[in-house]
Structure 1
Amino acid sequence: MTVGILVVSHSAAIAEGTVALARQMAADVPLVAAGGTDDGGIGTSFEAITEGIGELAGADAVVVLCDLGSAYLTVDTALDFLDDDARGRVHVSSAPVVEGTIAAAVAAQTGGDADAVLAAAATAATSGADAGSASSPVLGDQTAEAASDAPAGDRPGGAVPVDGTADGDDAVASATVELVNESGLHARPAAEFVKAAAKHEARVSVNGVDAKSLLAIMALALPKGASVTIDATGPDARDAVDTLVSLVRSGFGE
């Protein structure tokens, strides 16, 4: 499923800048900016919003993010002029426009449907700690305890395996590695981390927050040299941990 994102702002610079930022982390997601008035002033444009929705007609669904209350009113007016089928494809999020757009774009990049993209955007309204618990479950208490009590292993890079069920829904795995890239776990590496985690069925956490929540990971603000503990539970837990460990060790290609 393809989900397009329309960014509506009273400022053309804000809308275009937000789209440019999101594209750095979600290059394959259709993103359109609809900012400012038709004469280049501050405000919103019915025509620009309508055209933006039209530009995203090839997507299966469209998620709209707005900056201020009157932007929502203009979007509502534009939606009233659409036919029923087109209107049914459009979903309006109340998330903060910049953080919400970035989280939504990463969710769309990983193949999320409209509900998943809206849920990802909604995490922008919470703190980093809350975002980790507000989305998908991370690890149960038993798994987290097993991870913290596990003895250090001999795997290179500080990977620490956790004893547990080898297969099935109760399989567990854990490893701790050091961030080697100069900028640490900032926006782009965090997005790469989320996209890699989202490919696995296992529930995954990084330093105690949901590894599939971009904003939760970014809120950790981990610098170069910081320890990254990855815990997973589920049928592909070991593969999830190994994949993410390799990604961290690679420096995210930076």
Structure 2
Amino acid sequence: MTGAVGIVVVSHSAKIAEGTVELARQMAPTVTFVAAGGSDEGGIGTSFDKISSGIQDAQGGHGVVILCDLGSAILTAETAIDFLDDAEKAQVVIADAPVVEGTVAAAVAAETGGTLQDVLAAARTATGIADPHADEHTLTRDEVQGAVERSAVLVNPSGLHARPAAEFVKHASKFDSTIQINGVDAKSLLRIMGLGLAQGSTVSIVATGADASAAVDELVSLVESGFGEV
């Protein structure tokens, strides 16, 4: 049994599925990914057999999230799920999310130990439908008084994009405290990437909770270290 929710990427193109998995794996090396792209004949299309096998291969006991690119891919995935027994069906969900962004967000949630519902919710943050500030939290007066805040400057060439942002989320997710970076949820990959913070940008990290000081210290050290890029 693996320690994380598995992810299956379904695309009409084998190259798209494989490329999406390659990208997501950079941010979530311990997660099991399966690329189920293309038809059985190797052309453009979807394959019931590839998806069914993918679900079995990705299932390590913690559930499977499926990401699909187009409507007919969803239909094929739903058919594959219908052939599972009831217990297996309860552990497999299809995320209503863009295949690339949703997979990346789901991957980081799975890598940090999220449950099946956590990973599904993370994928859904990539839909672009919800208010982009919906997960922001305005601190109350008591929280402000008890908050720990420090600033740091991004020194790594890529700033807080893709891999560094994923590393930041992984570290933030270890703590119970509520953490924000420049006003957004520090445990949300897409919110952080949406900030567009480049090299030289100043980040403000604020945390409230029992382990707030430890969280801020670790995250500031991570930023100042350059995420291993410097």
Fold shared per TM-score above 0.5 = yes
Aligned amino acid, residue 183 of structure 2? G
Question: Per the alignment, do residues 206 and 130 of structure 1 end up closer, same or farther by CA in structure 2, a change over 3 Å counting?
Answer: farther
**Superposition RMSD on alpha carbons, in Å?**
1.7
Report the residue type matching 1:180 in the other structure.
V
Preserved CA contact (<8 Å) 2:5 2:59:
no
**Structure-1 separation of matches of 2:61 and 2:16:** 23
Q: What residue number does 1:247 align with?
A: 222
One of 10, 14, 31 as aligned partner of 1:12: 14
Matched, 1:95 2:97: yes
Between the two proteins, what is the percent identity of the paired residues? Answer: 59
What one-letter code is carried by the residue in structure 1 that aligns with 2:134?
S
Return the letter of the residue paired with 1:235.
Answer: A
Letter in 2 for 1:249: E
CA distance in 2, matches of 1:248, 1:234: 21
Among residues 153, 157, 166, which one is paired with 1:178 in the alignment?
A: 153
The separation in 2 between residues aligned to 1:20 and 1:242, in whole angstroms, is 32
Give me the whole-angstrom Cα distance separating, in 1, the residues matched to 2:131 and 2:163.
Answer: 21
> Structure 2 regions of 5+ residues with no counterpart?
none
Given that residues 139 and 205 in structure 1 are in contact (C-alpha distance below 8 angstroms), is that contact kept between their aligned partners in structure 2?
no
Task: Please give the per-residue CA displacement for 1:59-111, whole angstroms capped at 9, x wherever unaligned.
Answer: 32000110111111101111121122222210111111100000000000000
Alignment of 1:35-184 (within 5 A): 35-126=37-128, 130-134=131-135, 138-142=137-141, 146=144, 164=145, 171-184=146-159
Listed as ranges, the gaps of 5+ residues in structure 1 are: 147-163, 165-170
1:202 and 2:170 equivalent? Answer: no
Asked if structure 2 preserves the Cα contact closer than 8 Å seen for 1:174 and 1:231, the reply is yes
Which residue matches 1:25?
27
Query: How many pairs does the alignment contain?
Result: 227
Cα distance in 2 for residues equivalent to 1:57 and 1:117: 14
8 Å CA contact 1:139–1:204 kept in 2: the answer is no
TM-score, length of structure 2 as denominator length:
0.94
Q: CA deviation at 1:173?
A: 0.3
